[in-house]
Structure 1
Amino acid sequence: MPSISTKGLHMPESPIRKLVPFAEKAYKQKKTVYHLNIGQPDIKSPQIAMDAVAMHSLEILAYTRSEGSEEYRAKIANYYKNKQINVEAKDIIVTTGGSEALLFAMGTLCDSGDEIIIPEPFYANYNGFATASGVNIVPVISKIEDNFALPPIAEFEKLITPKTKAILICNPGNPTGYLYSKEEIKTLCDIVKKHDLFLVADEVYREFTYDGLQHYSILQEEGMEDYGIIIDSVSKRYSMCGARIGCLVSKNPKVISTALKFAQARLSPPTFAQIASEAALSTPQSYFDNVIKEYSERRDTLVKHLQAIPGIKVGVPKGAFYCIVELPVKNSDDFAQWLLESFDLNGETIMVAPAAGFYSSPGVGLNQVRIAYVLKKESLVRAVEILKVALEQYKD
């Protein structure tokens, strides 16, 4: 039999999606499953975006430009200017989701064997993107005991080697909900300029910050034209995960021209999704105000009820819509599978994402799960009730 590539064998499974077969089995057993495992918002997509596709006048569903349509990129640039991020259409490449933007960034910045420093826990697919790109992740560890605050910035400098090409952050963070302060962003910017590195910021959750806190982008910082790259997406902002539209943003013309070659190799981003995403940019601020209020209330509800369960620790998020929960179990993978295969409370159970997959350090996060608070408050309360009973019955 022909052999599979080493890269393919090392490609990690998604901790978010690998339990799907067990969830499908639970459905067949007529169980109700509360999905806490995936960041699929239940908030309605903006009607203006849905209408734009429904009322299109296209006669041919043709290719668009590899970097995305001029009109759409100009409107994205205007969106950023309203966020005090001064970029032009030429600084933007439209991608098939933020995932493709990350792949383009790694392909643009790194050769096989190069290193990217990433605070962990981090978005699980960074592991997959790095494997696919031949990049080595060097983790900076944060802990739930410190609410996943960054360690002293000097810890970043200790990890820099001749192979280091970039620091990658997610702000606000998936899976922790950690929000970087303006001072932390400034310090990271100083480090990359000092060591001649790139700073890549995954800012797809920019809109979702709580407790009166504000997001500060790396491209709001002066002098980052050569060093800064933003990864963005419509998926969470407009509850349009299925559109698969994102973008890569940089003021560095060499970054853009190189990333464009990767974009040309896949031809173009999807046409209908660009139409929807362009229309979504006209979504009124009231939409976001209502969404942020809803997520803030969901966060407070979830954290309050989780903290009432003996033996668990909860990281309190300041942004995005996830939190990491440390459970009194030895292996959250086994626990998550058991929840779907062998447990129910009056025909109901829950699906969570085991957190070990959000780390690159082996053996870390084994007793943690990520919970996405993308369900209505009453569903979150019920899900936590189910979790409490499950923990009382579960035997490692």
Structure 2
Amino acid sequence: MPSISNKGHLMPESPIRKLVPYAEKAKKEGTKVIHLNIGQPDIKTPQIALDAVKNNNLSVLEYSRTEGSETYREKLADYYAKNDIHVLAQDIIVTTGGSEALSFTMGSIADANDEIIIPEPFYANYNGFATAMGIKVVPVVSQIDNNFALPPIEEFEKLITEKTKAILICNPGNPTGYLYSKEEIQKLASIVKEHNLFLVSDEVYREFIYDGKEHYSILQEPGLSENAVIVDSVSKRYSMCGARIGCLVSKNKEIIKTALKFAQARLSPPTYAQIASEAALDTPQSYFDDVKEEYVERRNILIQELEKINGVKIGRPQGAFYCIAELPVKNSDDFAQWLLEEFRVNGETVMVAPAAGFYASAGLGENQIRIAYVLDKDSLKRAVNILNEALKIYKDQ
């Protein structure tokens, strides 16, 4: 029988999706599964974006431009300017989701066996993108006891080798919800300039910042133009996960030139989705004000209810819509599977994302879960009650 590639064997499973078969089985048996495992918002997509697709008058669904339509990129540049990020349309490549932007970035800045340093826990697919490119992820550990703040710069210094090409952050973070401060960004800017590295920032949750804090982008930092690459997406900003439109943004002309070659190989980003995304840029600020208010309420209820459970430790999110919770169990993978297979409260159970898959360091996160608070407040309360009742009787395998 022909053999599968070593790269294929090394590709990590998604910690978010690998429990899906157990959830589907539970549903077929009549159990209602409350999904805390995936960042699919229940927020309505802006009507202006939906209407743009419904009302377009295309007669031929042609390839779009490889780098994305000019009008969309021009409007994106205007959007960034409103966020004090000053770029031109030619500094932007439209991609098929933020995922493709990450892949293009990694392919443009690193070769096989090169290294990228990433504070962990981190978005699990960073591991997948790096594996697909043959790149080594070098983790630097952030701690729940410190609310997942940036690790000391000395810890980054220890990990830099001749193979190191970049530091990658998610700001605000998935899965932690941590928001890097201006001072933390400046520390990273200093180290990447000193060591001639790239600083890649996944900023797809930029709009979701809480408690009166403000987002500080790496492209707001003076003197970082040649080092900085932003990865962005419409998925969460406008609750348009299915549109699969993102972008790569950099003032470094060689990055854009190189990433464009990767983009040419996949031809073009989807036309209808760009139409929707361009229209979404006209979404009024009131939409985001309402969404932020809703997420703050959900976060507060989630934290309030989790804090009632004995033995649970929580990282307090300052942005995005995720929370890492440390549970009084040895193995959250087993616990999550047990919830789906065996535990019910009034015909309901909960699906969570075991957090070990958000770490690259073996053994870390095994007693943690990621919770996405993208559900209504009543569902969140019921879900945490189920977790509470489950932990009272669960026995580690």
Q: TM-score, normalised by structure 2?
A: 0.99
Q: State the distance in 2 between where 1:297 and 1:378 align.
A: 11
RMSD value, Cα: 0.5
Cα offset for 1:3?
Answer: 0.8
Instruction: Report the equivalent of 2:174.
Output: 174
Q: State the distance in 1 between where 2:92 and 2:121 align.
A: 28
Instruction: Report the equivalent of 1:296.
Output: 296
Instruction: Report the equivalent of 1:57.
Output: 57
State the SS of the aligned residue for 2:169: strand
| Counterpart check, 1:90 vs 2:102 | no
Instruction: Report the equivalent of 2:26.
Output: 26
Instruction: Report the equivalent of 2:2.
Output: 2
Instruction: Report the equivalent of 1:146.
Output: 146
Instruction: Report the equivalent of 1:369.
Output: 369
Cα offset for 1:151?
Answer: 2.0
Cα offset for 1:316?
Answer: 0.5
Q: Which amino acid aligns with 2:351?
A: M
Instruction: Report the equivalent of 1:201.
Output: 201
Q: State the distance in 1 between where 2:40 and 2:153 align.
A: 33
Instruction: Report the equivalent of 1:394.
Output: 394
Q: State the distance in 2 between where 1:191 and 1:150 align.
A: 13
Instruction: Report the equivalent of 2:108.
Output: 108
Instruction: Report the equivalent of 1:384.
Output: 384
State the SS of the aligned residue for 1:139: strand
Q: State the distance in 1 between where 2:189 and 2:294 align.
A: 33
**1:135-284 paired onto structure 2 within 5 Å:** 135-284=135-284
For structure 2, the residue ranges without an aligned partner over 5 or more in a row are none
Q: State the distance in 2 between where 1:256 and 1:9 align.
A: 31
Contact 2:175 2:322 in 1 (8 A): yes
Cα offset for 1:215?
Answer: 0.2
CA offset digits 1:24-74 (Å, max 9, x no partner): 001101111110000000000000000000111000111001110000000
Q: Percent identity?
A: 73
Q: State the distance in 2 between where 1:268 and 1:4 align.
A: 29
Q: State the distance in 2 between where 1:296 and 1:11 align.
A: 35
Q: State the distance in 1 between where 2:24 and 2:363 align.
A: 28
CA offset digits 1:269-299 (Å, max 9, x no partner): 0110000000000000000000000001100
For structure 1, the residue ranges without an aligned partner over 5 or more in a row are none
- 206-215 or 153-162, which moves further after superposition? 153-162
Cα offset for 1:152?
Answer: 1.3
Q: State the distance in 1 between where 2:367 and 2:70 align.
A: 47
State the SS of the aligned residue for 1:166: strand
Q: TM-score, normalised by structure 1?
A: 0.99
Q: Which amino acid aligns with 2:355?
A: A
CA offset digits 1:137-187 (Å, max 9, x no partner): 111101111111122112111111000000000000000001000001011
Contact 2:119 2:151 in 1 (8 A): no
Q: Which amino acid aligns with 1:248?
A: L
Q: State the distance in 1 between where 2:275 and 2:29 align.
A: 40
Q: State the distance in 2 between where 1:90 and 1:154 align.
A: 36
State the SS of the aligned residue for 1:113: coil
State the SS of the aligned residue for 2:184: helix
| Counterpart check, 1:12 vs 2:12 | yes
Instruction: Report the equivalent of 1:72.
Output: 72
Q: State the distance in 2 between where 1:233 and 1:63 align.
A: 20
State the SS of the aligned residue for 1:323: strand
Contact 2:49 2:279 in 1 (8 A): yes
Q: Which amino acid aligns with 1:365?
A: G
Q: State the distance in 2 between where 1:70 and 1:146 align.
A: 44
Q: State the distance in 1 between where 2:30 and 2:100 align.
A: 37
Q: State the distance in 2 between where 1:154 and 1:206 align.
A: 27
- Number of paired residues? 396
Q: State the distance in 1 between where 2:151 and 2:240 align.
A: 34
Cα offset for 1:225?
Answer: 1.1
Aligned structure 1 segments of 4 or more residues deviating by more than 4 angstroms: none
